[in-house]
Copies of this chain bind each other. A is one copy, B any other.
Amino acid sequence: MQNPSASMLVIGDEILSGRTRDSNMHYLAIELTKVGIDLKEVRVVSDSEVEIVQTVTQLSEKYDYVFTSGGIGPTHDDITADAIGLAFNLEVKVCAEAKQILENHYLNSEVELNEARLRMARTPVGAKLIKNSVSAAPGFNVQNVFVMAGVPSVFQVMVQSVIKTINGGQPVLSRSLNISSGEGNIAEKLKIFAQDNKLLAVGSYPFQKNGKYGTNIVIRGKNNKSLDKAFNKLLELFSGMIDEP
């Protein structure tokens, strides 16, 4: 059976201008891989309603899950909730449950739940909330789209909260081998190995160590036994060239 497929949509001018270096994509990639959900595509778009609406619509149709980051804060440039509402033709309103969460959070603080902060309780009608154990203001889920914050610490707890509630698949397993020889020297052998092991994904990544080229070979698959067998074949193929750590 195929694993569920996923895509990610990173929303924010600050990523595209170079102000901010995104770290949420890498985090999500690792977490999805652990639970057997195959991240197939990532897109980064600006704080533009039309871009967000178009992209979410396309990704939602193409993949089992869509994870978004960014644009759900209290300021004027936080437009993700409205864009998701438009994409799914749902009215966007203050959600009573989300409002209650914010009220509780601010209850014994000096912070006021003003109109701006109440924006963080707005969701498309019918959305399920995603828990935020860092700063309370929740994310939300509409159909197969999970809308989360851009701030990495908040994004991460939201991902952990979502992952418990969705169906994963069979985690993709991998074995990795470093060869003390450049890609160009081993490419022919590796090509034949990849052809002989079509059920595995065989990746080749160059590196440099003490000024010399080496190759990191990564094989990926879902079955431990076939991976072990293929890995032993690799050890045999490149014996004498293995780069011990």
Q: How far is the CA of A202 from the CA of B51 in the complex (A)?
A: 18
Q: Cβ of A182 < 8 Å from any Cβ of B?
A: yes
Q: How far is the CA of A15 from the CA of B22 in the complex (A)?
A: 13
Contact A42 B44 (CB under 8 A): yes
- How many copies make up the complex? 2
Bin chain A's interface residue count.
Answer: 35 or more
Query: Closest CB-CB distance, A180 to chain B, in whole Å?
Result: 14
Q: Cβ of A191 < 8 Å from any Cβ of B?
A: yes
B residues near A203, Cβ cutoff 8 Å: 13-14, 19, 47, 77
Contact B194 A76 (CB under 8 A): yes
Q: How far is the CA of A25 from the CA of B23 in the complex (A)?
A: 11
B residues near A174, Cβ cutoff 8 Å: 17, 19
B residues near A182, Cβ cutoff 8 Å: 111
> A112-120, A159-167, A222-230: which one contacts chain B?
A112-120
Contact B115 A188 (CB under 8 A): yes
Q: A172-B17, A183-B116 are in contact. Are A190 and B29 (CB under 8 A)?
A: no
Residues on A lying within 8 angstroms of B by beta carbon are 10, 13-23, 25-26, 29-33, 38-47, 51, 73-77, 111-112, 114-117, 119-120, 151, 172, 174, 182-185, 187-188, 190-191, 194-195, 201-206, 218, 220
